[in-house]
Amino acid sequence: MTTNEKLLVAIFEDNAHLRDSLTFLVNSSDLFKCSGAYADAANILKYIEKNTPDLVIMDIQMPGINGIEATRLIKQHFPQIRIMIFTVFDDDDKIFQSLCAGGSGYLLKSSTPQQILQGLKDVYNSGASLSPAVAERMVHFFQNNISFDTPDYSLTAKEKELLHHMVEGKSYKMISDAMKISLETVKYHIKNIYKKLHVNSSSEAVVKAIRQNIV
């Protein structure tokens, strides 16, 4: 993206008023531009292929294909696209399902406009796609419900340390400061972590790390 380009955001939200409000908010920002706003995900792959957004705002509860299923479809066909889950649901199961499907962030519809725009920035930069509160809830969810053997992904000690910081919901900058390494080094290690874990996003890496007791 050049300095004159805006990031394209596709919106999937069945509430017309909220969909219009999100479109207005996105188009009013200096960083983003709405590439399309849709009431359902029936033709989601066609929408995505036609408009090639950088980011997606995804409602969970939609008629037909729900947001979790739609998120999974997008990530299967367009793994580079980052998805912000935007919903009224505030329970561990919905958070878990959304992030396992490939969502890169999770915001409630009670969020302020500033929080929505900041969430989109965080998701795009992969800096804080999971808030510490959501990351903590994920840890508790797996500790209380599921136990797995730890596979060997051949992560180095440095990679495991960095992944631990990701699980805590830290941004790239926070990880850089904590580990006393540059942002570029952080990104280099995260790229290797993604490759070894066979994931495409920070949230997928965090979910896998927690679920399989990697850190």
Full 3-state SS string of 191-209: HHHHHHHCCCCHHHHHHHH
CB-CB contact of 116 with 18 (8 Å): no
CB-CB contact of 98 with 106 (8 Å): yes
For residue range 10-19, list pLDDT tens digits in order: 999 999 999 9
Instruction: Identify the pLDDT of residue 170.
Output: 83
In the chain, the domains with their CATH numbers are 7-125 (3.40.50.2300), 136-211 (1.10.10.10)
Instruction: Identify the pLDDT of residue 122.
Output: 82
Instruction: Identify the pLDDT of residue 200.
Output: 76
Instruction: Identify the pLDDT of residue 199.
Output: 83
> Side chain identity at 130, as an amino acid letter?
L
The secondary structure of 62-77 as a DSSP string is -SSS-HHHHHHHHHHH
What angle do helix axes 113-125 and 16-28 make, rounded to 10 degrees?
A: 70
CA–CA separation, 38 and 155 (whole Å): 41
* pLDDT beneath 50: ranges in the chain: 1-3, 127-128
CA–CA separation, 120 and 104 (whole Å): 10
